[in-house]
Chain A
Amino acid sequence: MHSLSRKAVASLLPSLLVCSSTFLLTQPAHAYPGGGAAFNGRGFDTCAAPSTSQMQAWWTNTPWSWVGVYIGGAVRGCSQPNLTASWMNTTYSQGWRHTLIWVGPQAPCTTFSSRISYDSATAYQQGKDEAVKAYNALMALGFTNNAAGTPVVYDMEGYSNTASCKAAVKQFMQGWVDQLAVAPAQVSGVYGSACNSYLSDLATMARPPKFVWAANWDNNPSTATLSCVSGTSWASHQRLKQYQGDHNETYGGVTINIDSNCANGPLAPTGGLNSASVCN
């Protein structure tokens, strides 16, 4: 129950005003709003979630508005000692939007320690299983409203160009998309190399991912330009682009090794379209 006990205003400079009110509140839970919407703007991703103080330093007066977060999966590259419901809540309060990334089994023709089956039925079921695990991870991170409408990206790293491998990946991704579509539905996405993850193949699936996040390190932030992906695929605020990889940047004295990204597509938990964005 909120009860107002006091309120005062301090009039300061013409441009600044501070006033205060005291409330008694119940403790806020570590709740992150479920949902998502299309956003235009720059974001970064890094292997392990930085501390919240580092995230604060990277929020103030920087180009970055969203961050890619590896929420789980058998082959997530880095341990995530900082990633908790509290971290999600704190960085959301700082102003950040998020892209949630799941890194499960990879193409069967790779050397990753967990791989998709070449058997199509098994691959499809594996995709569904990973979607369930990703949903459970969202719940553990405190997403409200059963994470309905929350965009979630499957990280499918590049693989060699063989028909059997590509077929297995398509089956797997269909399972991922179909399971996430089950109520309370999330918004299914896929991350991968614009060319070497054969994203164009996924556009031809019976029920394709709702959006794509393409690694295309051409230093061009425009999501309209994706190598190996048709301009007509995922063309309605359905694209994220990783346009620069593996480099250090420093803000507020904090250096992080990042990939640079642009969004013209869905982020959690809210959007914000900007027709003048360099990301369009």
Chain B
Amino acid sequence: MPAPSSLSLSLVALALLGLSGAAQAAPGVRACAAADVRVSAGQAGAWRCQATQEIRIANAGAEACHLPGFPSVQLQPANEAPQTVGASESAPELQSTRLELAPGEEIVVLLGTPGSCEAANRPERKVSKRLQLALPGGGLKTVDGVHVDTLCGRATVMRFERVQSEASARALAMKASGALSQLTGSISAPDEASRGGLLRYTVTLSNPTAAPVSLAACPSYTQSLWAEGRSTDATLRLNCAAAGGQIPANGSVSFDMQVAVPAGLAAGNGKLSWKLDGGPGVGKMIGLR
């Protein structure tokens, strides 16, 4: 490997950008009606001692709509009166958690019933295979194929939240950061480092696409080392000129890095993090001696 040549590079410290929180419903967005949404039965399962049933609600319309809280759900057992599903004692706020659905977005409502009780030692069960949702904008939706067993207690809503789709997150990243968001990263770092010393490591950015990715704008990156509540952080610009200004199609570029390990960091497991602004992040556990 040829010896590296040194060159200077000005640094630009950038403020870390916080990720945006949950979307707020825009004023004027109307309540979702039955005609706006597609409702389906999701997974029936087990979680936190509860027998669970997902209900998935997708905005099938062309406009955004909102739910001012989880929709009214009524179980429809075969041989009994309908039963209304209430809020979970551990999550009463879900009744008034307002969620907005853009076209194509999906929300999950997770129902739960107690998974065990003395009565469950006998073979009889009280299973509802159908339920009905009342949408706040008007109309009902019937969902078949669910499995909600109320033998051990009433059904409640455990979760009501937007599905955090990897695909939509990537689409948003592509829109915000362009081709940098398509890069992948890997890190090569020692397993251990000395406090008060220097930690040297290498970050490799790979371009899995068939077109080169330009580094002409010299994107910034943030590196940090964390241990037991204390960290050292720096935001710097990538040495893109030295890399040739681009990452070739189906190619990679490696960047040698180093960070001073503060003597005051706690000994034990430290967390190294490196994140390209608009691109991938990499990290590793480092044993701090």
Q: Which residues of A contact B (CB under 8 A)?
A: 4, 6-28, 40-41, 47-48, 50-54, 56-57, 59-63, 65, 74-79, 81-82, 84, 87, 90, 93-97, 103, 106-107, 109-113, 155, 157-160, 162, 165, 193, 196, 245-246, 252-255, 257, 259, 272, 274-277
Residue pairs across A and B with Cβ atoms less than 8 A apart, 27 shown, are A6-B242, A7-B4, A9-B5, A10-B6, A12-B11, A18-B256, A20-B255, A22-B243, A22-B254, A28-B206, A51-B164, A57-B19, A59-B271, A60-B224, A61-B271, A76-B45, A95-B187, A95-B284, A95-B285, A106-B46, A109-B116, A111-B151, A112-B51, A165-B121, A193-B49, A257-B161, A272-B287
B236 on the interface (CB 8 Å rule)? yes
Q: Which of the segments B66-74, B133-141, B272-280 contacts the partner chain?
A: B272-280
Known contacts A157-B115, A158-B115; 13 additional CB pairs below 8 A are: A4-B1, A6-B243, A8-B7, A11-B8, A17-B256, A22-B248, A24-B250, A59-B271, A93-B186, A93-B280, A111-B152, A254-B19, A274-B287
Contact residue range for chain B? 35 or more
B residues 153-169 touching A (CB-CB < 8 Å): 159, 161, 163-167, 169
User: Contact at B43–A78, with CB atoms within 8 Å?
Assistant: yes
User: Contact at A53–B186, with CB atoms within 8 Å?
Assistant: no
User: Contact at A158–B282, with CB atoms within 8 Å?
Assistant: no
Interface of B, secondary structure class, is strand
Q: Count of A-B contacts with CB under 8 A? A: 299
Known: A53-B19, A113-B147, A274-B268. A19 touches B239 (CB 8 A): yes
Known: A7-B1, A59-B281, A165-B121. A17 touches B208 (CB 8 A): no
Residue of B nearest to A164 (CB): B121
Pick the residue among A16, A54, A78 that contacts B236 (CB under 8 A). A16
Distance, CA A4 to CA B267, complexed state (A) = 37
Known: A15-B259, A16-B236, A109-B121. A8 touches B4 (CB 8 A): yes
Distance, CA A63 to CA B269, complexed state (A) = 10
User: Taking each of A20, A23, A65, A94, which has the highest tally of chain B beta carbons within 10 Å of its own beta carbon?
Assistant: A20
Interface string of B41-75 (1 = CB under 8 A from A): 01111111101101010000000000000000000
B234 on the interface (CB 8 Å rule)? yes
Pick the residue among A13, A59, A79, A113 that contacts B42 (CB under 8 A). A79
Q: Which residues of A contact B43 (CB under 8 A)?
A: 76-79
User: Contact at A75–B44, with CB atoms within 8 Å?
Assistant: yes
Pick the residue among B49, B231, B239 that contacts A10 (CB under 8 A). B239
User: Contact at B165–A111, with CB atoms within 8 Å?
Assistant: no
Q: Which 9 A-B pairs have the closest CB atoms?
A: A95-B283, A77-B47, A8-B242, A15-B260, A9-B4, A253-B19, A77-B45, A111-B149, A20-B243
User: Contact at B169–A16, with CB atoms within 8 Å?
Assistant: no
Interface string of B18-59 (1 = CB under 8 A from A): 111110000000000000000000111111110110101000
Chain A min CB distance to B240 (Å): 8
B residues 230-257 touching A (CB-CB < 8 Å): 231, 233-234, 236, 238-240, 242-244, 247-248, 250-257
User: Taking each of B166, B204, B251, B258, which has the highest tally of chain A beta carbons within 10 Å of its own beta carbon?
Assistant: B166
Interface string of B173-200 (1 = CB under 8 A from A): 1000000000011110001000000101
Distance, CA A76 to CA B149, complexed state (A) = 16
B87 on the interface (CB 8 Å rule)? no
Residue of B nearest to A82 (CB): B166
Q: Which residues of B contact A110 (CB under 8 A)?
A: 51, 115-116, 120
User: Contact at B116–A94, with CB atoms within 8 Å?
Assistant: no
